[in-house]
Structures are given as structure tokens and as C-alpha cells.
Amino acid sequence: KQWYQRRVRALANYYVLQGTIYQAPDLHHVLNSRLAGTLFHLQEALDKTLKMSRYDPNKGHYWSFDPPAPSKEEKLRSEPCSQFQRESVDKLIDILTKKYQHFMLRTGPVVTEQQNLKQESKDEPQR
């Protein structure tokens, strides 16, 4: 942006990687992103320390490093799938592969109609 004949102000900076032009982020966005990432990890660390700290009237404050036993819901969530779900998905995949088998047999490059006509015209003997 040009204010006067001798004053020029850059509106944005750009950089090029492997032939692609990217707009460089300004300092505000870089700091915001770095701080957000840092605060996220700090919050996770504080949450974990709060879960480990304990208080007992007889013992006072102490740290419990043993993980609590997972509840039934957490156990169910941690399992990827049940045997029934695996069998159902296997049946569906089998049905779909049989139904759409002609789509799966294509292994080479797809040839368009124009490419096919050009190839046929090359294969014809010249008169």
C-alpha cells in the first residue's frame, strides 16, 4: 500500500514452498496458536495432578499414583467392537464385494472413449 511517493507499507508477507505461494501468518496469530497449545497441555497436566492428590484426616495430604479402576462404561468404550459387530461388518463386506465385484476388478488406468478411439485408429493398417 502506498501512502505517498516515498512511503510504502507492506500489507502481508508471503513465502514459497515447492512452487506454492502461502501467506505468512502475522505475529498475533503465531503467538495465539502457540499459547493455546501450551495452555491446553498445562490444563491436562493440572487435571491429572488434581486426580492424583488425596486428603485423609489421619494421613493428611498424599499422592496416589495408582490409577483408579475403570468403570463399566469406560471398559465398554475402550473395546473397539463386539463379536456381533465384527460378524455383521464381515457379512456386509462380503455381500458388497459380491454385488460390486466388477468395480473391484479394475486394476489398470481408466481409458476414456477418446483415448480408445485414438488407439484403434493407430492400430488400423495404413492404406
pLDDT digits (tens, 9 = 90+) for 31-80: 999 999 999 999 999 998 888 888 888 888 888 877 667 777 776 667 77
Residues 65 and 52: beta-carbon distance below 8 Å: yes
Which residues neighbour 78 within 8 Å (Cβ) at sequence distance 6 or greater?
70
Query: In terms of pTM, does the model score above 0.85?
Result: no
The pLDDT tens digits for 5-40 are 777 777 888 889 888 998 888 888 899 999 999 999
SS3 65: coil
